[in-house]
Amino acid sequence: MKKPKGQATRPLLVIFCEGELTEPSWLASVGRHLGNRALDIRPGPGVPLTLVRRAMDEVRQIRREGRSDEAEVWCIFDVDEHPGLAEARHLAATHGIQLAISNPCFELWLLLHFRDQPGMQHRDAVARMLREFQPAYAKQPDFGLLGPLLPVAIARARRLSEDAASMDEAGRNPTTDVYRLVERIEHPRPTVLSTAPATIPDPAVGRLGDPTPPEGVKPKVRHRPRNPS
């Protein structure tokens, strides 16, 4: 069916995740909350360089199929203590892959739903702080608690990133770019895969989506087969 003239295109977001559980389950919940079914979530495991190389293969496939204006590729991972992070950033930038990086870890993004930034912290300390607000947390985010607080987390994360950039310390501990991915999930716009990263708009933080997801909305989660041991 032909798309009505003037209607915004909501591209497929292909998202490669470092983790097997935390990020994929959270992303699926965000997609339901914001009514965006156009998510192809690829669970890990994988270190940043491995994820970006998988994403590069996906970009090549999308271009071969002539779908560059219909899809956008992301990787979501932690700084943690991963090797090859600089190379992963460089490859992503040269292949039009978007990155949602958290320093030191994804739990920082979750923590920002409940409190302001904690200062420079080790990932274990951030996880302990998060359990003060979500005692049962064990790599399974409680979106019932997190969903209503998305606008607060976005505002805090953006402020952290802007403050770091103003001091020429982009990506420092603590920062997280996950808010950019959330805004991208919420705000549809046409996209074209290019040899440079797309520019992500900074819409005013406001109410995010309808707290009651549309009937039948279920983002796609694709599990990679495990290698036989």
Supply the DSSP string of 27-91, one letter for each residue.
Answer: HHHHHHHHT---EEEE-----HHHHHHHHHHHHHHHHHTT-TTTEEEEEEEE-TT-TTHHHHHHH
User: What tens digit of pLDDT does each residue of 152-165 get?
Assistant: 999 999 999 999 99
Question: By percentage, how much of the chain surpasses pLDDT 90?
Answer: 69
Residue 135 in domain: yes
Split at pLDDT 50, 70, 90, the class of 80 is: confident
Residue 58 in domain: yes
Q: What is the mean pLDDT of the chain?
A: 83
The stretch 42-69 carries a mean pLDDT of 94
The stretch 62-87 carries a mean pLDDT of 92
Residue 229 in domain: no
Can the peptide bond before residue 211 be classed as cis, meaning omega within 30 degrees of 0?
Answer: no
The stretch 84-90 carries a mean pLDDT of 95
Split at pLDDT 50, 70, 90, the class of 217 is: very low
Split at pLDDT 50, 70, 90, the class of 69 is: confident
Split at pLDDT 50, 70, 90, the class of 10 is: low
pLDDT of res. 188: 64
Burial class (CB in 10 A: 0-12, 13-18, 19+), 169: exposed
- Residue 185 scores a pLDDT above 80: yes
In which domain, by residue range, is 45 found? Answer: 12-221
Residue 129 in domain: yes
Phi, psi of 101 (to 5 degrees): -105, 140
Alpha carbons within 13 angstroms on the beta-carbon side of residue 109 total: 27
Number of domains in the chain: 1
Residue 228 in domain: no
Residue 226 in domain: no
Token pair belonging to 148: 């209503």
- Of 209 and 26, more confident: 26
Residue 64 in domain: yes
Residue 116 in domain: yes
**Cα distances (angstroms) measured from residue 130 to each of 40, 111, 156, 180, 181:** 28, 5, 15, 21, 21
- Residue 210 scores a pLDDT above 60: no
CB environment 171-208: b (16+ within 10 A), e (fewer): bbbbbbbbbbbbbbbbeeeebebeeeeeeeeeeebeeb
Closest CA to 121 of 76, 150, 78: 78
Please report the beta strands in the chain, taking only residues with DSSP state E, as ranges in sequence order: 12-17, 39-42, 71-78, 98-103, 175-176, 220-221
Split at pLDDT 50, 70, 90, the class of 139 is: confident
The two beta strands, 220-221 and 39-42, are parallel
Closest CA to 155 of 205, 216, 190, 83: 205
- Residue 127 scores a pLDDT above 60: yes
